[in-house]
Amino acid sequence: MANSEEFNPLLEKQQQSKPEVNNTDEKKSNSAKSIDEEPVKKSPPIGWTADGLPLSHGSVVGEPMVGRTHWDSSLCACLGRNDEFCSSDLEVCLLGSVAPCVLYGSNAERLGAAPGTFANHCLPYTGLYLIGNSFFGSNLLAPWFSYATRTAIRRRFNLEGSCEAFTRSCGCCGSFIEDEVQREHCEAACDFATHVFCHACALCQEGREVRRRLPHPGFNAQPIMVMIPPGEQTMGRRMA
């Protein structure tokens, strides 16, 4: 029996297959260890682009987001600054005091740069302005319509909002804000509060900002060359 076991070919195949099973077990254990050892990639925190879209902190993955900039002038600087835009700042202050509907339509026109933007914003604002002053004695309805333009300006130029300014100065708003989404909701609420309680000053600040950053859409129009065909030429016969 001993000789038959030594020369049995089945036993030799079984002995050769055992190391292969062990090798497969080792490969599985090594692959499991490599999966466990791989670091878990954390998704980058959500940020807001200038257009208000929730993207990563850079336009390209891994690129750091540019820090937010300050407004060109403060909320209460109604007369603006003594620079090349001084006359424009005085015009903005006059329109914000006398005709806020015109100033709001002009701000939206520069921001939108599309045909009909001025009328589409100025006329609804005028209606809400007249209804508010007729029934409530003050301009209470128009800020509900106009505060979205302030949010659009802040997002487009990546400007610092009121909530972030308070957090930077005194740290009063940073305790309950966990991510960028909640921060953006807080900033939108601050934009609405600014238009409700300081409506004229908010319109003037937005007007000074867009006039320094965006040209009027009419200035971007390119000249059109008109080709005038020459007049008909008649050939006279020479008199003999």
Position 92 confidence tier, pLDDT thresholds 50, 70, 90: very high
Which is more confidently placed, 169 or 20? 169
Nearest to 104 by CA among 222, 4, 200, 233: 200
Residues 80 and 208: beta-carbon distance below 8 Å: yes
Indicate the angle between helix axes 199-213 and 86-98, nearest 10 degrees. 150
pLDDT in tens, 50-74: 444 444 433 333 344 456 888 988 8
pLDDT at 129 over 90: yes
| Residues 64 and 58: beta-carbon distance below 8 Å | yes
- 33, pLDDT greater than 90: no
Rounded CA gap, 183 and 176, in Å? 9
**Is pLDDT above 90 for 147?**
yes
Strands (E) across the chain are located at 47-48, 54-55
Write down the mean pLDDT value for the chain. Answer: 74
- Helices 100-112 and 86-98: angle between axes, nearest 10 degrees: 130
The pLDDT value recorded for residue 60 is 38
Output the 3-class SS for the chain.
CHHHHHCCHHHHHHHHHHHHHHHHHHHHHHHHHHHHHCCCCCCCCCEECCCCCEECCCCCCCCCCCCCECCCCCCCCCCCCCCCCHHHHHHHHHHHHHCHHHHHHHHHHHHHCCCCHHHHHHHHHHHHHHHHHHHCCCCCCHHHHHHHHHHHHHHHCCECCHHHHHHHHCCCCCCCCCCHHHHHHHHHHHHHHHHHHCHHHHHHHHHHHHHHHCCCHHHHCCCCCCCCCCCCCCCCCCCC
Min mean pLDDT across 6-10, 24-28, 74-78, 85-89 is at 6-10
Whether the per-residue pLDDT at 216 is higher than 50: the answer is: yes
Structure confidence at residue 232 as a pLDDT band (50, 70, 90) = low
Which of 23-27, 47-51, 128-132 has the highest mean predicted lDDT (pLDDT)? 128-132
Instruction: Say what percent of the chain tops pLDDT 90.
Output: 35
Q: For residue 236, is pLDDT > 90?
A: no
Does position 86 have pLDDT exceeding 50, yes or no?
yes
Spatial separation of the C-alpha atoms in residues 171 and 153, rounded to whole Å: 24
Predicted confidence at residue 58, as pLDDT, reads 38
Res 238: pLDDT: 55
Look at 62-71, 87-96, 185-194 and tell me which has the smallest mean pLDDT: 62-71
